[in-house]
Amino acid sequence: MKVKKRPLLKAGVFIMAFSILLAGCSSGTGIGSEGQPVEKPTEVVEKYTGEKSLELPFVYTAKKELSLTFNGMGDKDSMAKLLKQLDKYKVKATFFLPGIRVAEEPDIAAAILAGGHEIENNTLNQLDLNKLDYEQIYKEVKLANDVIEENTGSRPKYVRTRSGDYPEDLPLVAAQLGLKAVVSYNINPKDRDMQSAKEIGDYVKRYIHRGGIISLNTDINPEVIASIPYIAAAADEIGYKLVTLDELVSRGGVRKPAEQVPGYDAARINSDYKTAKYRLIYQVDTPKKHIALTFDDWGSDKTVTKILDILAEKGVHATFFLRAKGVETNPNLARAMVEEGHDVANHSYSHPVVTSLTADELQKDIVKAHQVITDAIQEQPVMLFRPPTGVVNDERAKAIAAVGYPDIAMYDVTMLDWDASNSADDIVKGALAQTKPGSVILLHMLDDIHTIEALPRVIDSLEGKGYTFVKMADLIKEQKN
């Protein structure tokens, strides 16, 4: 990027001028050609009443991308080392810079842009915007925009406060100034607590996911520089790419409000359940050697992504019964399942043993799960419900059917893979011994078990015996027909 060269003005002049402006002096103050404050007409700032800007703790996307972002601007030496590390590991990052620091050291900002990174607005002085009124917030953000553009030629598209927290006025200010979004984050390695480089990297590795926004600081903990190899390795291990925030946003989507998604209300509380009809489906009678591969619960992005990668490599589509409390923390992962051709279904919100709940409690849990999953995938899930642990009785089955889930998806093949004491060999042997035409195979997507190790062998072995994998809803249709 071609960077606009500007004469370096003394930091004291900028600080004095901007402080006067932010205070809202009656006559108004600007900066003259000699770098001195001059009087100018005061800008009248009226509170914006239009639609507020986007608010992004993460980006909605099923792509294997996330963004590494930094707040603040460290000294010249530390910033040079950080940029060198990013370049070494081929990471493109987004730097939220305070306007005053860009004014003080525009050469650092120029080096950031020259490295192919992105510069965004960290406000003028990194003040606590919760303590400012609307006009003061407006000036903090606008002046930072102006200073960054004046010194780099690059106009910010996003704004973030120093802490990531912000008042409700900021999205209105951002919209008024034409900014795309107010950005926070959802992966915070807490480098402010002076974590080691490995601790920072381990945190990212644990919580990494599609569309994530990692937040670090350039001017607090020098270990941030040494953490870059760990972060790059964490992304590379599961095939994720670290891209600039604007790239992430431009390739992502915007979630509709949940209530606007078709099928959001397909599950409803219904206290009149005593005569509801239901089917417990353990397996399907079919003349074809068709079988359904299903996965229960939830896991880390790393674990589930490995399962998805294996299924993609083998050309197999499965049915995922999702624990919705987990989906809430990572809706992009649920969406990725759908985009890769799999079905997702309801496995409750809180994963209770359904017989331990009253019918009313159970219905509320199932409806909440349905709404969370629908919101995450932005479409109606397959209307199958699988009770956690596979335990259900007649009264609870009727309560489940009455909310909109008459087909209760059980299974006839289970290798207890949720128990880490069961090896990959145990899982494979169990699958081969139990499976027959129309079988429903139960596996889990939990961390630290042997399912991932066993899965390719299970698929290859069963296909070798002439079986074809289909999604459970499609298998059920074969019986209906």
In a domain, 211, yes or no: yes
> What range does the domain containing 77 cover?
52-251
Predicted structure pTM score: 0.87
**346 pairs with which residues across the strands?**
322, 385
**257 pairs with which residues across the strands?**
none
251 sits in which H/E element: helix 245-251
The confidence score (pLDDT) of residue 23 equals: 44
Using the structure block, give the residue that is written with the tokens 């698929």: 459
Q: Where are the alpha helices (DSSP H) in 24-133?
A: 76-88, 99-104, 106-114
- Tens-place pLDDT, residues 109-131: 999 999 999 999 999 999 999 99
Cβ contacts of residue 50 below 8 Å, gap of 6+? 172, 175, 176
How many angstroms separate the CA atoms of 423 and 49, rounded? Answer: 61
Cβ contacts of residue 49 below 8 Å, gap of 6+? none
The confidence score (pLDDT) of residue 26 equals: 36
Last residue of a domain, one of 202, 217, 251: 251
345 and 465 belong to one structural domain:
yes
284 and 167 belong to one structural domain:
no
Residues of the chain predicted below pLDDT 50: 1-29, 31-33
The confidence score (pLDDT) of residue 17 equals: 43
470 and 440 belong to one structural domain:
yes
Last residue of a domain, one of 194, 226, 251: 251
Question: Which tokens go with 197?
Answer: 């480089």
From the list 94, 58, 91, 333, the residue with the least C-alpha distance to 231 is 91
- What's 253's DSSP letter? B
Cβ contacts of residue 193 below 8 Å, gap of 6+? none
284 and 191 belong to one structural domain:
no
Number of domains in the chain: 2
How many angstroms separate the CA atoms of 54 and 52, rounded? Answer: 7
328 and 391 belong to one structural domain:
yes
CB 339 within 8 A of CB 379: no
In a domain, 18, yes or no: no
Cα–chain-centroid distance for residue 215?
13
455 and 409 belong to one structural domain:
yes
With vertex at residue 48, the alpha carbon angle to CA 42 and CA 53, rounded to the nearest 5 degrees, is: 125
**What's 203's domain CATH number?**
3.20.20.370
Cβ contacts of residue 154 below 8 Å, gap of 6+? 1, 3, 113, 119, 148
Last residue of a domain, one of 187, 221, 251: 251
Question: Which tokens go with 365?
Answer: 């849990």
How many angstroms separate the CA atoms of 68 and 72, rounded? Answer: 14
When computed from its CA atoms, the radius of gyration of the chain, rounded to whole angstroms, is 27
